[in-house]
Amino acid sequence: MKIISISPAFFFLVLSPPLSLSLSLSLSLYSIYSCRLLCTSSHIMANLFKGKKLFSGDKQVDSSELQNKIVGIYFTACWCPPCRQFTPILKEYYEAWNGEPFEIVFLSFDRTSEDCDLYYKNNHGPWLRMEHNDPFVEELKNKYNVTGIPKLVIINRKEEVISLNGREDVQDKKLDAMKYWKDAKCS
């Protein structure tokens, strides 16, 4: 029996025979250790929205609000019946997830800025939003291949897609969607 250390925080035993078991155990623990390092270090989520105008209500906020968070990019519009059905559900779960490392950014497909503002104020949670007709909305629409709304894209703090089907995650998994996203963030 031999004690091996890959960091001061992780020690594990490797049993001599069979070697493949030892190697497999070593690689598994190393993967877990690497994932923990990635997930606990300060990452680059804020870079996706860096230099973009983000608002919390009417107040402009810095993209650093998104740092170290899982982000739901929510494409929606007031004229869309499925959006009007899903938004209150998302709002309810967002409020229940209070304290989680999670934020939503509302991206409007509304026809006018007045419709966008009314929809946000009257129907949405206290999450972040971008201005109506911000050209970056179109960039994100193309980046995440949004072909219909409502669409909730879940990305981790490394800007990697966790789920392109956040709406379905919320509807199927309910409050457990957050656990699913948190567990998937290092996958």
Distances (CA, A) of 2 to 11, 29, 134: 10, 15, 59
Share of the chain above pLDDT 90, in %: 67
Under the banding of pLDDT at 50, 70 and 90, the label for residue 186 is low
Q: What is the pLDDT of residues 5-18, one digit of tens each?
A: 443 333 333 444 44
- Amino acid type, 104: I
Q: What is the pLDDT of residues 80-116, one digit of tens each?
A: 999 999 999 999 999 999 999 999 999 999 999 999 9
Structure tokens at 179: 């656990």
Whether residue 60 is predicted with pLDDT greater than 70 in this model: the reply is yes
**Which domains are present in the chain?**
54-184 (3.40.30.10)
